[in-house]
């Protein structure tokens, strides 16, 4: 077994075999002697040693071995260039170093020397070999037009490393990281511009985050782990509820009743995967930050990614299928003649007529409950969103009537029309009182497909209408609250004119 040495080169401890150590020592002495007459000799040699240390470290990691052998040193010298070859190229060029004679291979780094913020645009300009002003202009345009430029800039900021060493800056510019390249880099120094307040401030913040800021990151990570775990547990509980632990009546509530019953389980699982896996990934990452843990297993990471993508694809598929069921629209109208009165009162009545479907749902004989009402004290109905609109128009024939337009959507016109026909809405006239149901009802197993009711009250000129406060929420285009004389009034009074319905109180004020 060959004897090894531990050497410190480029601030890295390297295990190296004895014969390889002797060859490396001779090479480094030649390098130091050659650059000894240069004013920047110490910096040049230090950069060269740092680059050699990087190459040794890469080889140990690639070959998974413990010590550098003589063949590794020979390969490094070949890549860096021997001093004799370097001196010959200088003499042939008349004392000046020749330009690069190779195809430049650039690496992407952030150029903080020419940074306005974090050096992202400057680094991209080097990599793409374009003027940095065009990259900055393009970034500015994407920020103004789409806003995506901000997100892309932040991602590049965190993902792309900063060019710290001279070797990294040379790789960023596409220069050879050998003897000739390092010497050229000192003959042609890197351009450094005034970075401005933003870049300097961000550098200070970065220094803080690398120091005492790590403690803050650990606290934040611990908080994310705690609350993220609670939220993940809540998602599991909600998933269990949707998969059957709740009463099945919940599936009749909006917005759950948008989803077809046969899609519900699959779509619920897809939504759970879409939400839970990023949350789980955030928790695992926060655990690693908080407790200085190792990186997550790649198989686990790729597995979670595949499951998440499958959830996204499944979710998009079913959302597209449900969306297709809103493709066509249909409506039909029903005209109800009303008894004529000089004054009408519009009220909300939460009771509704007992139907055949109610008989089946509640297992009650429908014959004994014909024309009876179901009383309901609830202020809201959860199976439909706001779906009623009301307006008043001048009667063209002097008669009073109520036009009820039933509207819905469906995959085809026929299905949309059937959905509209299945709408149940209660409206009753009791002398001069017109009583309206506050909600639209659809069959228990039916899906919500944009069902809505449009009510149009046709009244002759001169007819007055008293509108209750509870009815006001269904009014569109009427300044109801401006029509009140006193704040505690239960009604506002409106009157039909030749130009449309007007507030009686406002009309009287103008006449006086």
Give tens-digit pLDDT for 315-368.
Answer: 999 999 999 999 999 999 999 999 999 999 998 887 655 555 555 554 555 555
Chain centre to alpha carbon of residue 289: 23
Q: What is the number of residues in the chain? A: 512
Nearest-angstrom CA–CA distance, 41 and 181: 14
Q: Which residue has the higher pLDDT, 465 or 8?
A: 465
Q: Is the pTM of this model over 0.95?
A: no
- Sole residue written with tokens 């046709």: 458
Q: Lowest mean pLDDT: which of 236-250, 302-316, 384-398?
A: 236-250
Q: How far apart are the first and last CA of the chain?
A: 116
Residues 6+ positions from 435 with CB-CB distance below 8 Å: 347, 348, 349, 427, 428, 429
Counting Cα atoms < 13 Å in the Cβ hemisphere of 506 gives: 15
Please report the pLDDT score of residue 154 as a whole number: 76
Phi/psi-derived region of residue 174, left when phi > 0, alpha when psi is between -120 and 50, beta in every other case = left
d(CA 271, CA 236): 12
- Judge whether residue 194 has pLDDT over 80: no
Model confidence band, residue 478 (pLDDT cutoffs 50, 70, 90):
confident
Indicate the pLDDT class of residue 300, thresholds 50, 70 and 90. confident
Angle between helices 41-63 and 70-80 (to 10 degrees): 130
More confident residue, 134 or 354: 134
**Range list of H helices, 81-131:** 83-92, 120-128
Which pLDDT band, with edges at 50, 70 and 90, does 403 fall under? very high
The region of weakest confidence among 94-103, 151-160, 252-261 is 94-103
The stretch 136-145 carries a mean pLDDT of 80
423 versus 351: the higher-pLDDT residue is 423
The pLDDT of residue 10 is above 70? yes
Contact criterion met (CB below 8 Å) for 414 and 479:
no
Least confident interval from 158-172, 367-381, 443-457, 493-507? 367-381
């Amino acid at each position: 077994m060959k004897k090894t040495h531990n050497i410190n080169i480029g601030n890295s401890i390297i295990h190296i075999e004895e014969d390889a150590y002797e060859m490396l020592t001779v090479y480094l002495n030649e390098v130091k002697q050659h650059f000894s007459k240069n004013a920047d000799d110490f910096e040049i040699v230090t950069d060269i040693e740092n680059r050699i240390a990087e190459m040794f470290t890469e080889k140990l990691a690639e070959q998974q071995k413990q010590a550098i052998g003589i063949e590794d040193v020979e390969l490094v010298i070949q890549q860096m260039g021997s001093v004799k070859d370097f001196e010959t190229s200088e003499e042939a060029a008349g004392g000046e170093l020749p330009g690069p004679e190779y195809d430049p291979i650039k690496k992407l780094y952030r150029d903080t020397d020419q940074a306005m913020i974090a050096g992202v645009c400057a680094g991209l300009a080097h990599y793409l070999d374009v003027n940095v002003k065009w990259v900055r202009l393009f970034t500015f345009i994407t920020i103004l037009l789409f806003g995506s430029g901000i997100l892309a800039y932040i991602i590049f900021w965190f993902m792309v490393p900063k060019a710290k060493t001279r070797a990294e800056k040379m790789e960023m510019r596409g220069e050879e990281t050998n003897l000739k390249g390092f010497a050229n880099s000192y003959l042609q120094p890197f351009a450094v511009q005034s970075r401005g307040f933003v870049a300097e401030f961000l550098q200070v913040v970065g220094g803080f985050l690398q120091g005492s800021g790590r403690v803050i990151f650990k606290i934040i990570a611990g908080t994310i782990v705690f609350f993220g775990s609670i939220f993940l547990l809540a998602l599991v509980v909600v998933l269990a509820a949707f998969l059957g632990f709740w009463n099945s009546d919940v599936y009749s509530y909006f917005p759950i009743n948008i989803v077809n019953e046969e899609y519900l389980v699959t779509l619920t699982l897809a939504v759970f995967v879409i939400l839970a896996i990023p949350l789980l990934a955030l928790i695992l990452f926060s655990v690693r930050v908080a407790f200085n843990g190792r990186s997550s297993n790649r198989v686990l990471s790729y597995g979670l990614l595949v499951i998440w993508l499958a959830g996204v694809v499944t979710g998009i598929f079913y959302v597209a299928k449900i969306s297709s069921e809103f493709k066509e629209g249909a409506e039909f109208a029903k005209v109800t003649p009303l008894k004529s009165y000089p004054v009408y009162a519009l009220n909300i009545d939460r009771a509704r007529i007992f139907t055949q479907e109610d008989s089946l749902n509640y297992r009650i004989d429908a014959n004994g409950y014909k024309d009876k009402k179901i009383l309901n004290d609830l202020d809201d109905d959860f199976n439909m969103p706001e779906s009623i609109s009301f307006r008043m128009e001048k009667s063209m024939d002097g008669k009073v009537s109520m036009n009820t337009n039933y509207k819905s959507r469906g995959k085809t016109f026929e299905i949309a029309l059937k959905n509209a026909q299945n709408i149940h809405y209660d409206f009753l006239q009791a002398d001069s009182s017109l009583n309206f149901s506050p909600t639209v009802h659809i069959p228990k197993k039916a899906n919500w497909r944009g069902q809505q009711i449009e009510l149009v009250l046709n009244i002759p000129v001169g007819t007055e209408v008293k509108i209750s406060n509870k009815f006001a929420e269904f009014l569109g285009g009427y300044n109801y609250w401006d029509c009140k004389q006193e704040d505690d009034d239960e009604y506002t009074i409106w009157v039909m004119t030749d130009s449309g319905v007007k507030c009686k109180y406002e009309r009287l004020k103008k006449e006086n």
